Amino acid sequence: MTLVALSLSLLLAGCKPNAAEPAAPAHPSPTAVAPAATTGTAPADAAPAEPVAADAQASCPYPDFDTFLPHFGAEIALQEKATADPLISEYVDVTADPEPAQVVQQIPLAEVTWPVMPNPASAGSKAREITHTTQPDGSIKVQFRTPNTSDQQSYYFAQKPCWQLVRKVDESI
């Protein structure tokens, strides 16, 4: 029995390299290269990357940030799904000695306090200004601030592939 098994394994091992190698012509013909060059399309092995990204973005409930932000601010369930784990949290420790210091923490999603961000729709009633700006890395910074005070919080969102809160910064003193 072991002799038969050994014989079969050697036979299969001998076939393995030929089966694993893709069939390729010894000399590529110009016609095989010309269509890709003349059409301006990417090679066949690179083609799936774009549809995969498009499919991932299509599965996002709100792929457009201007649509996403009001929902994120109003729906805690969406906040729970669209917050990074861990969430980077920064704040100013005013009790630090000899002077206030910036503290950076990585908060596990299970320990995040909800709501993690105020509702942008209610900020106007509290005399707070809201701005959002695109950062050099493509992320978006949403800033809530009360004029003439140190009350200022920034929330950073990145598209991974859906919009996700990745960092919050409380600059209040």
- Tell me the mean pLDDT in the region 16-23: 43
Q: Each residue of 37-92: pLDDT tens digit?
A: 334 444 444 444 444 445 555 699 999 999 999 999 999 999 999 999 999 999 99
Bridge partners of residue 143, in order along the sequence: 131, 154
**SS3 at position 11:** helix
Cβ–Cβ < 8 Å for 137, 126? no
Residue, of 132 and 31, whose pLDDT is higher: 132
Domain regions of the chain by residue span? 65-170
> Average pLDDT over the chain, rounded to whole?
78
Q: What CATH number has the domain spanning 65-170?
A: 3.10.450
Tell me the backbone φ, ψ of residue 132, rounded to 5 degrees. -140, 135
Does the predicted TM-score (pTM) go above 0.75? no
With 0-12 CB in 10 A as exposed, 13-18 as middle and 19+ as buried, what is 73? buried
Non-local (6+) Cβ contacts of 161 within 8 A are 53, 56, 57, 60
Work out the percent of the chain whose per-residue pLDDT is above 70: 66
